[in-house]
Every structure is written in C-alpha cells, then in structure tokens.
Amino acid sequence: MLNTIIYLFVAVPVLAIFPLFLAILLNQKIRGITIYKILIYLPVVVSIVVASIAFKWLYADQGILNYLVNMLNLHSIGWLTDPKWSLYSVIIVTIWKGIGYYMMIYLAALMSVPQELYEACDIDGANFLTKHLNITIPHIMPTIALVVTISSISAMKVFAEIYVMTKGGPLNSSKTIVYYIYERAFENLDLGFASAMAVVLLIIVMAFSLINILCFERNKYQL
C-alpha cells in the first residue's frame, strides 16, 4: 500500500504539471513545431512491455546509465536491485510513457482558450507567467482535473512495468496493490482475498476521483 501511495504522489504531480508546461510551449508559433510534438508523443505508441524491457537494459548493472555514472567516478547504482532505487526507477518509465499523452490532452484544451484574452494581457504588459496563471489555468481547470484523475487511476493500477522490471522486488520495495492482488490470485491461488483487495482498490479509486472533483470542479457541480 505504501509503495502505491509513493507511486501516486511522485508520478501524478509530474504528469499533471510537466505536460502542461510542454503544451504551453508547443502552443506557441515555433518553426518545426509538428516535429517536436511527434517526438514527445512517440513514447505513447510504444508498448509498455517493450518500454519496460528497454529501460531494464538501461538500468542493468553494466547498462548505459551505470556506464555514465562510472564516467563521473561514482559507484554503480542498483537501479532495479537496490530497494532505495527500484520503485523510483519504475516510476520514471511510467512518467516517460505518459508525458506525451497528457501533453496532447492539454494542447486540445488550450485551443479553446480565447486568444483575445492573451492579446489583452500583452497590451497590459503582463509577463509569460502572469498571463498563463490568470488566463490559461482557470480556463483549462476541467482538463487539469481530468488529467489528475486519469493519472491517479493509472498510478494506482500500475502493473506491467512492475511485472516486467522487478516483479515487486527487491524485498517488496516495488510491490504495488495491483501486483500484490495478482500475486495472491495467480501465484498463491488465494482468489477470495485477491477479490476482496480488488474491491478495496475500486473503492480507493472512486474516492480519489471524488476528491479530484471536490478540489478542481467544486463550483461547477455546486458541491
């Protein structure tokens, strides 16, 4: 349960904020903007299993990442074999896969923001940060709520990355709720307990969805 909470509070803020920043940048008139969009979205079309295997190679003791670490005269890091690093190494894969997807959602939302408001801000001398804090964020708040909700659900039900890269190890340091349910159901054949845990997970997911509605769209639904 703790690993799932860590997964949630590390992955979701990054997937909610960083893609928004990229979407705002890519919404400007930049030469070759389509190429940048394709490159950022490319990880989304890669199979999660293929991505997990590729990152597992990168994280290997003799992999590229440790080669770069050794070039800095530092000791090799057990990205997937050290309990301190394993969960965060898997989280990086989830973030890498999700950034392009959520960026495209934000880009679609940014198209609905009236350009006249930005022009008025430019006339008033507002800077880049002020303009987007006062115009962009309020206008796309429902989309932000959607992204936070989807990314929260994805973080709580993460499985493929864990199964391919660590199988919940080492020392259960990367075992999440869904992987625990899988382990109890298909390895220990404890189907009753696994079913109960699945119901608990459903309740948790529903609770997080309601919390997101309360936080982001309370006025809309008059809650």
List the CATH number of the domain containing 93. Answer: 1.10.3720.10
Q: Which two tokens stand for residue 202?
A: 């459903």
Cα–Cα distance measured from residue 147 to residue 17, given in angstroms and rounded to the nearest whole number? 10
Q: What pLDDT was estimated at residue 101?
A: 95
Q: Are 135 and 113 in contact, with CB atoms under 8 Å apart?
A: yes
Per-residue confidence (pLDDT) for residue 217, from 0 to 100: 62
Q: Where are the alpha helices (DSSP H) in 125-190?
A: 128-131, 137-139, 141-156, 160-165, 177-182
pLDDT at 40: 92
pLDDT of amino acid 147: 92
Q: What is the pLDDT of residue 219?
A: 57
In the chain (223 residues long), the average pLDDT of successive 10-residue segments reads: 87 94 87 87 94 94 91 91 94 95 94 85 81 88 89 91 92 92 92 93 86 68 50
CA distance 33 to 50: 27
Residue 59 CB burial class (10 angstroms; 0-12, 13-18, ≥19): buried
pTM > 0.85: yes
pLDDT of residue 41: 93
For residue 131, what are the domain limits? 2-221
* Greatest Cα-to-Cα distance within the chain, rounded to the nearest angstrom: 67
- Write the DSSP symbol of residue 150: H
The predicted structure's pLDDT at residue 218: 60
What is the predicted pLDDT for the residue at 2?
82
Q: How many domains does the chain fold into?
A: 1
Determine the Cα–Cα distance for residues 175 and 166; give it in Å rounded to an integer: 8
Residues in the chain: 223
